Amino acid sequence: MKKLFYTATLASSLALASMAQAEIVPVKEVDVEVDMTAVQDAPAAGKWAELSSDLEAAILERLAGQITDDQKAAVVMVDIDEVSLASNFAAALGKDSHLTGVVEINDVTSVAKSEERDTNLAFYKLDVTAMSIGEYLPEGFDLASAPDDDVYYNAMVQAFADNIASRLQ
């Protein structure tokens, strides 16, 4: 399994600082599904084979203080429906690689003191593009070589996980 090396980022620091001010949502489960048939670039398919477990681990790492066994806590479900990694040549020409998925955050809440039902806290499509991950990349990183680089992979996973965690903190 690929080991992710997370770099400290300003966004992570800001998320932690804002956590103290916002209501923290307890989470009982995180589930990430990746449709590997959606990977359009064969070399990328091998490179991104561990995306499901790596993204789940990244989300859980960010929510570590919020994980609970409480059955009424939120469930985070992520369905990666497109992983489109540009070839080195296409990236050099400015074609934007992206990681896209549907995020659903459900919660069981008390509706009328005696009645419980599932409540959808959030349902949204998340698209992290190569052009939007600059803050996760080292200075001077060349996006033209990105799809085959672990730094690029880690940055895409970090950006995706940070977005989800920020909605729960």
Question: Which of 105-109, 138-142, 163-167 shows the lowest mean pLDDT across its residues?
Answer: 105-109
Structure tokens at 164: 């989800």
User: Does the pLDDT value for residue 4 go beyond 50?
Assistant: no
Q: Which pLDDT belongs to residue 148?
A: 60
User: Does the pLDDT value for residue 77 go beyond 70?
Assistant: yes
**CB-based contact 108:117 (threshold 8 Å):** yes
Going by C-alpha positions, the residue among 120, 121, 126, 36 that lies closest to residue 78 is 126
Contacts of 93 (CB under 8 A, 6+ apart): none
Going by C-alpha positions, the residue among 86, 20, 11 that lies closest to residue 47 is 86
The mean predicted confidence, pLDDT, of the chain is 74
Q: Mean of the pLDDT values across residues 146-154?
A: 75
Q: Does residue 9 or residue 59 have the better pLDDT?
A: 59
Q: Which pLDDT belongs to residue 119?
A: 66
The pTM of the full predicted model, rounded to 2 decimals, is 0.74
Percent of the chain at pLDDT > 90 equals 34
Architecture of domain 26-166: 3-Layer(aba) Sandwich (3.40)
